[in-house]
Amino acid sequence: MPETRSHPLRTRTATAAMSLLVASSLLAGPPALAQSAPQGGGLPDLTHLVEQVGPAVVNIRTMERSRSPQMPPGMDEEMQEFFRRFFGQPLPGTPRQGPPGQGQGPGQGPGQGEGPQRRGVGSGFILTQDGFVMTNAHVVDGAEEVLVTLPDKREFKAKVIGTPDKRTDIAVLKIEATGLPFVRIGDANRLKVGEWVMAIGSPFGLDNTVTAGIVSAKQRDTGDYLPFIQTDVAINPGNSGGPLINMRGEVVGINSQIYSRSGGFMGISFAIPIDEAIRVAEQLRTSGRVTRGRIGVQIDQVSKEVAESIGLGRAQGALVRSVESGSPAAKAGIEAGDIIVRFDGRTIDRPTDLPRLVGNTKPGTRSSITVFRRGNTRDLQVQVAELEPEQAQRQASGPQSKPPAGSALAQSVGLAVAELSEAQKKELNIKGGVRVEAVADAALRAGIREGDVIVAIGNTEISNVREFEAAVAKLDKSKPLPVLLRRGEMATYLVLRPQG
């Protein structure tokens, strides 16, 4: 999805000062000046909000030491940065190495030779009066020098605190100043769809630009760890890292991404909920990096058809496609094909809920986990481990040994299957199942492939060919039949329709 990158930003580090700031912001009542909500259906007056929050919103410029690339004629730095943020590459005709733009930006001539060169423009906001600033990680990614300019035109060199968190796109900066204006932190959970919100930032380098709109939706899944706030507030390159403000003058989000087919604003923008951002910022300030939990599973969504056919009811939970050997999940007894429906007492409605809950759990914590398996739920205990930065994903691989001969043919579903050898079972880390030798008719339409291993039909486990044939003989040909199979190291459900 094209983005203004406003990237996702993750930070962690929380000092007592920040914790007290957040707590006081949440407990304090709405300021008198912030009562700007429309009375009687009129449009809101945002002037008081701008006066209240504007002084704490900053412009962020980054510098990078490298040789300036040759830019196409007529293409300045802002256009170059715009193209890179939305499409992930330089403008056509521009060398790929080096920063995304060294052209003639505001207040500077074209970059020449080597030395600090202006690379990008973003926004941020002051968290504390002693100079902690929050922005997007992508705004400062790769920068050798970061300059923060306040609305009163004071400019400071900023230090990036810890390692900006790319997973959530959050970064924390520190400038050496005191007595600074700072924002009030709001509660993103109190936001309602249709509520008026406002953004302040530096789109295309135009400092202190104010735009407004409404909350279009909440809990949008556009990232592994973040349920974004969707708005129709105009957001463009340079707005990245700026605050999303409610009608009480509180920051409820960080403007981070847009959806666009053209590269420009099209009425859909996304903000990181401020509670998620503060959680990351606290970790960055206290330890310099973000620590997340992991249990070692690969997951997928559960379709409505599968949920109904296996007795789960509604489509919910996270289907476990594979379990990493020796991982916390494996030690807890979680199996490929399980559907995780609860974690630490919290319901898993969508697959993306699980990595968020696990990721926010402190490594070493012993957590409860509920799985749906073969028509029944089971409660297990898992000890959460630490997610390593940029952890390499294991590649799935299928059985390599040659399957034994002697397939049995089940004409009604279009499958020929064979016994698994002990070596194949060991390789897949399963107790039993049958290997698909040939596929036709209903099985072919369902997406079953030669080489798949069927481990359950309906809610009945399959250990060998005899059990497979017995299960097929009991089929109700008028109903869809869920089949749990392994494809390499991955488990998935497919639905057979014998009469389809």
pLDDT value of residue 82: 53
Instruction: Determine the Cα–Cα distance for residues 349 and 361; give it in Å rounded to an integer.
Output: 18
Say if residue 397 carries a ligand binding annotation.
no
Residue 391 lies in a domain: no
| Active-site residue, from 240, 269, 309, 367 | 240
169 is in an annotated binding site: yes
By C-alpha distance, which of 222, 262, 255, 256 is closest to 83?
A: 262
Q: Is residue 76 part of a domain?
A: no
Q: With contact defined as beta carbons under 8 Å apart, do 150 and 144 qualify?
A: no
* pLDDT value of position 8: 38
- Pair (310, 192) in one structural domain: no
Return d(Cα 93, Cα 99) in angstroms, integer.
14
- pLDDT at position 41 is 60
Instruction: Say yes or no: 311 and 281 in one domain.
Output: no
> Do 343 and 199 share a structural domain?
no
Tokens of 331: 């030690």
- CATH number, domain at 174? 2.40.10.120
Which CATH number covers residue 347?
Answer: 2.30.42.10
Contacts of 279 by beta carbon, 8 Å cutoff, 6+ apart: 12, 14, 360
Out of 165, 169, 353, 452, pick the active-site residue.
Answer: 169
**Are residues 50 and 169 located together in one domain of the fold?**
yes
Domain boundary among 239, 258, 288: 288
Residue 248 in contact with residue 190, Cβ under 8 Å? no
Q: Are residues 42 and 163 in the same domain?
A: yes
- What lies within 8 Å, CB to CB, of 448 at 6+ separation is 415, 436, 439, 483, 485, 494, 496
Whether residue 223 is found in the same domain as residue 300: no
**Residue 453 in domain:** yes
Per-residue pLDDT of the chain (500 residues; tens, 9 = 90+): 444 433 333 333 333 444 444 444 444 444 433 445 554 467 888 999 999 999 999 999 998 765 445 555 555 555 555 555 544 444 444 444 433 333 333 333 334 445 556 567 899 999 999 999 999 999 998 888 999 999 999 999 999 999 889 888 999 999 999 999 999 999 999 999 999 999 999 988 888 899 999 999 998 876 567 789 999 999 988 899 999 999 999 999 999 887 766 666 778 899 999 999 999 999 999 999 899 999 999 888 898 888 888 888 889 999 998 898 889 999 999 998 999 999 999 999 988 889 889 988 999 999 999 999 988 999 999 999 998 765 433 333 333 333 333 334 455 677 888 888 888 888 888 888 888 888 877 788 788 888 888 888 888 888 888 888 888 777 776 778 888 888 887 888 888 776 54
User: In degrees rounded to 5, what are phi and psi of residue 204?
Assistant: 55, 30
The string of DSSP codes covering 180-191 is: ---PEE--GGG-
Examine the fold and report which residue of 261, 288, 315 is the final residue of a domain before the chain moves on: 288
| 7 has binding-site annotation | no
| Domain-terminating residue out of 255, 288, 321 | 288
b/e 45-78 (16+ beta carbons within 10 angstroms → b)? ebebbbebbebbbbbbbbbbebbbbebeeebbbb
Q: What pLDDT sits at residue 411?
A: 55
Residue 239 in marked binding region: yes
Q: Which long-range contacts (CB under 8 A, 24 or more apart) does 37-42 make?
A: 37/196, 37/247, 38/196
Range of the domain at 194: 1-66+115-288
259, 372: one domain = no
Residue 235 domain flag: yes
Question: Six-digit token pair at 211?
Answer: 């735009």
Asked if 156 and 207 sit in the same domain, the reply is: yes
3-state DSSP assignment of residue 295: coil
> Is the same domain home to 350 and 417?
no
238 is annotated as contributing to ligand binding: yes
How far apart, in whole angstroms, are the C-alpha atoms of residue 266 and residue 402?
A: 54
Q: Which of 242, 171, 244 has its CA nearest to residue 201?
A: 242
pLDDT confidence of residue 426: 80
CATH number of residue 438's parent domain: 2.30.42.60
Residues 268 and 357 in one domain: no
> How far apart, in Å, are the Cα atoms of 354 and each of 299, 350, 461?
9, 8, 26
Q: Is 100 a member of any domain?
A: no
> Same structural domain for residues 309 and 419?
no
Whether residue 77 lies inside any domain: the answer is no
Please tell me which residue in 7, 25, 36, 138 is annotated as part of the active site: 138
- Structural domain includes residue 129: yes
Number of domains in the chain: 3
Whether 110 is in a domain gets the answer no
Q: Is 396 helix (H, G, I), strand (E, B) or coil?
A: coil
Same domain, 231 and 306: no
To the query of whether residue 169 is one of the catalytic residues in this protein, the response is yes
- Could you tell me if 160 and 173 are in contact, meaning their C-beta atoms sit under 8 angstroms apart? yes
